[in-house]
Structure 1
Amino acid sequence: MKTIEVSSALIGELIAEAAAAHPHEACGLLLGTNGAVCSIRPCANVHPTPDTHFEIDPRALIDAHRAERGGGPRVLGYYHSHPAGPPEPSATDRAQATADGRVWAIVGEGKVGWWQDTAEGFAALSYLATGG
Protein backbone atom coordinates (compact mmCIF):
# COMPACT_ATOMS: atom_id res chain seq x y z
CA MET A 1 0.00 0.00 0.00
CA LYS A 2 1.49 3.32 -1.05
CA THR A 3 -1.62 5.52 -1.00
CA ILE A 4 -4.54 5.69 1.41
CA GLU A 5 -7.90 7.16 0.42
CA VAL A 6 -9.65 9.32 3.01
CA SER A 7 -12.32 12.00 2.91
CA SER A 8 -11.56 15.62 3.69
CA ALA A 9 -14.26 15.40 6.37
CA LEU A 10 -12.42 12.56 8.15
CA ILE A 11 -9.16 14.50 8.04
CA GLY A 12 -11.05 17.36 9.70
CA GLU A 13 -12.42 14.96 12.33
CA LEU A 14 -8.91 13.72 13.15
CA ILE A 15 -7.63 17.27 13.58
CA ALA A 16 -10.67 18.16 15.72
CA GLU A 17 -10.14 15.07 17.93
CA ALA A 18 -6.51 16.08 18.50
CA ALA A 19 -7.54 19.65 19.40
CA ALA A 20 -10.23 18.42 21.81
CA ALA A 21 -7.80 16.09 23.61
CA HIS A 22 -5.01 18.68 23.94
CA PRO A 23 -2.80 18.71 26.01
CA HIS A 24 -3.20 14.92 25.99
CA GLU A 25 -2.77 12.59 23.05
CA ALA A 26 -5.97 11.64 21.26
CA CYS A 27 -6.22 8.09 19.98
CA GLY A 28 -8.58 5.78 18.16
CA LEU A 29 -9.17 3.35 15.35
CA LEU A 30 -9.19 3.75 11.57
CA LEU A 31 -11.97 1.68 10.00
CA GLY A 32 -12.66 0.91 6.36
CA THR A 33 -11.69 -1.29 3.45
CA ASN A 34 -8.35 -2.04 1.83
CA GLY A 35 -6.85 1.28 0.91
CA ALA A 36 -9.73 3.49 2.12
CA VAL A 37 -10.48 4.88 5.56
CA CYS A 38 -14.27 5.16 5.83
CA SER A 39 -14.62 6.18 9.48
CA ILE A 40 -12.75 6.77 12.70
CA ARG A 41 -13.64 5.49 16.14
CA PRO A 42 -12.31 7.70 18.96
CA CYS A 43 -11.14 5.68 21.95
CA ALA A 44 -10.11 6.48 25.50
CA ASN A 45 -6.38 6.99 25.98
CA VAL A 46 -5.73 4.76 28.99
CA HIS A 47 -1.96 5.36 29.20
CA PRO A 48 -0.85 6.62 32.65
CA THR A 49 0.94 9.59 31.01
CA PRO A 50 -1.47 10.63 28.24
CA ASP A 51 0.30 13.93 27.60
CA THR A 52 3.25 12.08 26.02
CA HIS A 53 1.97 8.57 25.24
CA PHE A 54 -1.13 6.79 24.03
CA GLU A 55 -2.70 3.43 24.66
CA ILE A 56 -6.01 2.60 23.04
CA ASP A 57 -8.55 1.23 25.51
CA PRO A 58 -8.16 -2.56 25.10
CA ARG A 59 -11.92 -3.13 25.36
CA ALA A 60 -12.54 -0.80 22.40
CA LEU A 61 -9.92 -2.65 20.37
CA ILE A 62 -11.36 -6.06 21.22
CA ASP A 63 -14.88 -4.87 20.40
CA ALA A 64 -13.77 -3.48 17.03
CA HIS A 65 -12.04 -6.75 16.05
CA ARG A 66 -15.05 -8.74 17.19
CA ALA A 67 -17.33 -6.51 15.07
CA GLU A 68 -14.99 -6.97 12.08
CA ARG A 69 -15.18 -10.76 12.41
CA GLY A 70 -18.97 -10.40 12.46
CA GLY A 71 -19.01 -8.54 9.13
CA GLY A 72 -18.46 -5.01 10.42
CA PRO A 73 -15.87 -2.53 9.17
CA ARG A 74 -12.26 -3.62 8.97
CA VAL A 75 -9.75 -2.26 11.49
CA LEU A 76 -7.21 -0.71 9.11
CA GLY A 77 -5.11 0.82 11.83
CA TYR A 78 -4.85 3.48 14.48
CA TYR A 79 -4.57 7.20 14.96
CA HIS A 80 -3.09 9.35 17.66
CA SER A 81 -1.91 12.89 18.11
CA HIS A 82 1.34 14.58 19.01
CA PRO A 83 0.28 17.60 21.06
CA ALA A 84 3.74 19.15 20.82
CA GLY A 85 5.28 17.56 17.74
CA PRO A 86 5.07 16.90 14.03
CA PRO A 87 2.74 14.36 12.36
CA GLU A 88 5.42 11.70 12.04
CA PRO A 89 6.43 8.65 14.08
CA SER A 90 8.28 9.51 17.27
CA ALA A 91 10.96 7.35 18.89
CA THR A 92 8.22 6.02 21.20
CA ASP A 93 6.01 5.17 18.22
CA ARG A 94 8.88 3.29 16.59
CA ALA A 95 9.58 1.36 19.79
CA GLN A 96 5.88 0.38 20.14
CA ALA A 97 5.38 -0.59 16.48
CA THR A 98 4.62 -4.24 15.74
CA ALA A 99 5.31 -4.42 11.98
CA ASP A 100 1.73 -5.60 11.45
CA GLY A 101 1.16 -3.66 8.22
CA ARG A 102 -1.51 -1.46 9.79
CA VAL A 103 -2.00 2.19 8.91
CA TRP A 104 -1.14 4.88 11.44
CA ALA A 105 -2.52 8.40 11.16
CA ILE A 106 -0.53 10.81 13.30
CA VAL A 107 -1.94 14.27 13.95
CA GLY A 108 0.41 17.10 14.82
CA GLU A 109 0.87 20.77 14.07
CA GLY A 110 -2.62 20.90 12.53
CA LYS A 111 -1.81 18.25 9.91
CA VAL A 112 -2.25 14.49 9.51
CA GLY A 113 0.64 12.25 8.49
CA TRP A 114 -0.15 8.79 7.11
CA TRP A 115 2.19 5.85 7.77
CA GLN A 116 2.26 2.09 7.37
CA ASP A 117 3.85 -0.03 10.09
CA THR A 118 6.06 -2.41 8.07
CA ALA A 119 8.76 -4.95 8.93
CA GLU A 120 11.32 -2.33 7.84
CA GLY A 121 9.78 0.38 10.06
CA PHE A 122 7.28 3.09 9.30
CA ALA A 123 6.78 3.84 5.60
CA ALA A 124 5.23 7.16 4.60
CA LEU A 125 1.92 6.88 2.75
CA SER A 126 0.51 9.47 0.43
CA TYR A 127 -3.17 10.11 0.69
CA LEU A 128 -5.92 10.83 -1.74
CA ALA A 129 -8.43 13.23 -0.17
CA THR A 130 -11.95 12.65 -1.41
CA GLY A 131 -14.99 14.87 -1.05
CA GLY A 132 -17.27 14.48 1.89
Structure 2
Amino acid sequence: MNSSSQRLVAAALAALGVASAIPIPLAGLDFAGVINIFGIDAGDVPTGLLTLVTAGSVLTIGVLILAAVATVLAATGSSAARPLLIVTAAAGIVTAPAAWLPTGVLLGTAAYLVGQQTPHRV
Protein backbone atom coordinates (compact mmCIF):
# COMPACT_ATOMS: atom_id res chain seq x y z
CA MET A 1 0.00 0.00 0.00
CA ASN A 2 1.49 3.34 -0.98
CA SER A 3 1.78 6.31 1.35
CA SER A 4 -1.13 8.22 -0.16
CA SER A 5 -3.62 5.37 0.08
CA GLN A 6 -2.42 4.45 3.58
CA ARG A 7 -2.94 8.06 4.66
CA LEU A 8 -6.48 8.03 3.27
CA VAL A 9 -7.30 4.73 4.97
CA ALA A 10 -6.03 6.16 8.26
CA ALA A 11 -8.16 9.28 7.79
CA ALA A 12 -11.21 7.15 6.94
CA LEU A 13 -10.75 5.03 10.08
CA ALA A 14 -10.36 8.14 12.21
CA ALA A 15 -13.46 9.71 10.62
CA LEU A 16 -15.44 6.52 11.32
CA GLY A 17 -14.26 6.65 14.92
CA VAL A 18 -15.29 10.28 15.32
CA ALA A 19 -18.68 9.71 13.69
CA SER A 20 -19.40 6.64 15.81
CA ALA A 21 -18.58 8.52 19.03
CA ILE A 22 -20.89 11.50 18.46
CA PRO A 23 -23.81 9.89 20.37
CA ILE A 24 -21.66 9.38 23.49
CA PRO A 25 -21.62 12.98 24.76
CA LEU A 26 -25.12 13.60 23.42
CA ALA A 27 -26.47 10.75 25.56
CA GLY A 28 -24.61 12.11 28.58
CA LEU A 29 -26.00 15.59 28.08
CA ASP A 30 -29.48 14.13 27.59
CA PHE A 31 -29.15 12.12 30.81
CA ALA A 32 -28.04 15.28 32.66
CA GLY A 33 -31.06 17.17 31.34
CA VAL A 34 -29.04 19.70 29.34
CA ILE A 35 -30.60 18.65 26.02
CA ASN A 36 -33.38 16.25 25.09
CA ILE A 37 -32.38 14.16 22.07
CA PHE A 38 -32.98 10.57 23.14
CA GLY A 39 -35.58 11.14 25.87
CA ILE A 40 -33.37 9.78 28.66
CA ASP A 41 -34.82 10.40 32.12
CA ALA A 42 -32.33 10.76 34.96
CA GLY A 43 -34.97 10.08 37.60
CA ASP A 44 -33.82 10.83 41.16
CA VAL A 45 -30.11 10.99 40.39
CA PRO A 46 -28.15 13.29 42.70
CA THR A 47 -27.17 16.70 41.34
CA GLY A 48 -23.47 15.98 41.85
CA LEU A 49 -23.63 12.99 39.51
CA LEU A 50 -25.48 15.02 36.88
CA THR A 51 -22.76 17.68 37.14
CA LEU A 52 -20.05 15.03 36.62
CA VAL A 53 -21.91 13.59 33.62
CA THR A 54 -22.27 17.07 32.12
CA ALA A 55 -18.57 17.83 32.63
CA GLY A 56 -17.53 14.48 31.15
CA SER A 57 -19.80 15.02 28.15
CA VAL A 58 -18.41 18.50 27.48
CA LEU A 59 -14.86 17.15 27.74
CA THR A 60 -15.78 14.32 25.36
CA ILE A 61 -17.04 16.89 22.86
CA GLY A 62 -13.65 18.60 23.12
CA VAL A 63 -11.89 15.30 22.49
CA LEU A 64 -14.13 14.69 19.47
CA ILE A 65 -13.22 18.10 18.05
CA LEU A 66 -9.52 17.33 18.48
CA ALA A 67 -10.03 13.93 16.86
CA ALA A 68 -11.74 15.61 13.91
CA VAL A 69 -8.76 17.95 13.56
CA ALA A 70 -6.43 14.93 13.72
CA THR A 71 -8.50 13.27 11.00
CA VAL A 72 -8.00 16.25 8.70
CA LEU A 73 -4.29 16.30 9.52
CA ALA A 74 -4.05 12.59 8.72
CA ALA A 75 -5.78 13.14 5.39
CA THR A 76 -3.36 15.92 4.48
CA GLY A 77 -0.29 13.94 5.54
CA SER A 78 0.75 16.21 8.40
CA SER A 79 3.31 14.86 10.85
CA ALA A 80 1.19 16.23 13.71
CA ALA A 81 -1.59 13.74 12.97
CA ARG A 82 -0.08 10.72 14.71
CA PRO A 83 0.54 12.28 18.13
CA LEU A 84 -2.85 13.98 18.08
CA LEU A 85 -4.59 10.72 17.18
CA ILE A 86 -2.82 8.96 20.03
CA VAL A 87 -3.73 11.70 22.51
CA THR A 88 -7.38 11.71 21.47
CA ALA A 89 -7.61 7.92 21.64
CA ALA A 90 -6.30 8.01 25.22
CA ALA A 91 -8.19 11.14 26.31
CA GLY A 92 -11.51 9.70 25.20
CA ILE A 93 -10.97 6.70 27.44
CA VAL A 94 -10.60 9.12 30.35
CA THR A 95 -13.74 11.14 29.53
CA ALA A 96 -16.04 8.26 28.47
CA PRO A 97 -14.37 5.02 29.59
CA ALA A 98 -16.47 2.08 28.38
CA ALA A 99 -18.24 3.77 25.49
CA TRP A 100 -15.03 5.11 23.95
CA LEU A 101 -13.24 1.76 23.48
CA PRO A 102 -14.32 1.13 19.86
CA THR A 103 -13.49 4.72 18.92
CA GLY A 104 -10.16 4.50 20.72
CA VAL A 105 -9.28 1.37 18.76
CA LEU A 106 -10.14 3.08 15.46
CA LEU A 107 -8.14 6.20 16.34
CA GLY A 108 -5.22 4.08 17.54
CA THR A 109 -5.24 2.06 14.32
CA ALA A 110 -5.29 5.30 12.33
CA ALA A 111 -2.31 6.55 14.36
CA TYR A 112 -0.46 3.31 13.62
CA LEU A 113 -1.14 3.63 9.90
CA VAL A 114 -0.08 7.28 9.85
CA GLY A 115 3.14 6.32 11.66
CA GLN A 116 3.90 3.66 9.06
CA GLN A 117 4.09 6.14 6.21
CA THR A 118 7.09 8.08 7.52
CA PRO A 119 10.50 6.41 7.43
CA HIS A 120 12.24 6.08 10.78
CA ARG A 121 15.77 7.37 11.07
CA VAL A 122 18.38 5.67 13.20
TM-score by length of 2: 0.26
Structure with greater helix percent: 2
TM-score by length of 1: 0.25
- Give the structure, 1 or 2, with the largest relative contact order (CA under 8 Å, sep 6 or more): 2
**Structure number with bigger Rg:** 2
Structure with greater strand percent: 1
